[in-house]
Amino acid sequence: PRKDASLVEIERRVRARRARAPAVVNFRAVSPYRARFKQGATLVPRFMCYVERVELGRLGGNANAPLVRSVRSNQEKAPWRDLEPLQSAVDARCLRTAYLGSSIAPFRILDRPEAVIPVNGGTMLDSNSAEARGLHNTADWLRRCEQLWNEHSAGRMRFSERLDYQRGLSGQFPVAGTRVVYSASGTLVAAAVVRDPEAVIEHSLYWAPVANEEEGHFLAALLNSEAIRRRVEHMQSRGEQGARHFDMLFFTLPIPRFDPANDLHRRLSAKGRDAEAAAAGVLIEEGTPFVTARTAIREALRANGISDAIDLLVIELLGDAGVEDHAEPIGGDIPLDDLVRP
């Protein structure tokens, strides 16, 4: 209730219970998809990357170098939240959709946020290399970002190195035509097929290229299923709101590579396609919070029976893999004195 509360106050509001320890994560039954999925790019500080177009009236602007400004978020942290937004022209070839975790719902893309992506010909650019390639507007934007970064960051890496940490950005090029993405964290996962050959993926999502739509629907159906979530939830770290951080836990399960000759794989893919069509038909008003949108889609898929049908197929595919005791309470309450006693 307040900082430095007394033990008596704490006892009135806090309950401690014994529980089994979460299972140790291992990849003995590793899926071949583990090696294919990668985390997206660290596009931070976000206001230096994500932008919106500035309207310039009837005459419009330069289509080859539109005027853009920073998109601000209430999730920004100091010192970045206290800095003024950026606004200038940026070369159109360096503007791309960059999907965020909030862009994705089960089987559906919710929005297409735009970002300054300093990659040209598959090569990461800083202000100097952008200038050398004739991308003068992008070079100006990057110079301002680099200056702010140098003034306010811890100084352990350059701005371009932050954007491309562990090749999270440059490793997405050349961009695959069809990919599957899923949310890196949360209590419930959201996965969808992405078909945009120009878009990049931000680090709150994992992504993998797929050979075709059928493989994409197969994976989206698996990853969105309650059957698979329940097999990994006991391995997730936990916070105040429950389980969090999926990361690569799904691939501790023996998820096989999609085989178009396998009848079960084809049926699961077909249900994934049906789920995508049903999700597209759910009315989502503009400005709806992404959590609300995700809930509406999940409820629609439960109501029409698609979710249950997918779960049955996933259970048939995985059998008993991953089904074990969860970290549920195994005893009564523990007196808080037992926890704080020396």
Query: Which stretch of DSSP H or E encloses residue 19?
Result: strand 16-19
Q: How far apart are CA 241 and CA 243, in angstroms?
A: 7
What is residue 58's DSSP assignment?
Answer: T
Q: Is residue 338 part of a domain?
A: no
The CA R_g of the chain, rounded to the nearest whole Å, is 23
In which band, very low, low, confident or very high, does the pLDDT at 326 lie, cut at 50, 70 and 90?
A: very low
- pTM (2 d.p.): 0.86
162-199 core/surface letters (b: 16 or more CB in 10 A; e: else): bbbeeebbeebbebeebbbbbbbebebbbbbbbeeeeb
Q: Report the DSSP pairing between strands 16-19 and 329-334.
A: antiparallel
In terms of pLDDT, which residue wins out, 69 or 186?
Answer: 69
Which SS3 state, helix, strand or coil, does residue 23 take? coil
Q: Is residue 105 part of a domain?
A: yes
Question: Cis peptide before 342, with omega less than 30 degrees from 0?
Answer: no
Q: How many domains does the chain divide into?
A: 1
Q: Is residue 232 part of a domain?
A: yes
Domain interval for residue 245? 32-318
Q: Is residue 188 part of a domain?
A: yes
Mean pLDDT throughout 187-216?
Answer: 97
Q: Which residues contact 252 (CB under 8 A, 6 or more apart)?
A: 25, 26, 27, 29, 30, 31, 232, 235, 322
Mean pLDDT throughout 178-191?
Answer: 95
Q: Is residue 203 part of a domain?
A: yes
Q: What is the pLDDT of residues 11-68, one digit of tens each?
A: 777 776 665 555 555 555 589 999 999 999 999 999 999 999 998 877 678 999 999 9
Q: Is residue 302 part of a domain?
A: yes
Q: How far apart are CA 60 and CA 52, in angstroms?
A: 15
Q: Is residue 242 part of a domain?
A: yes
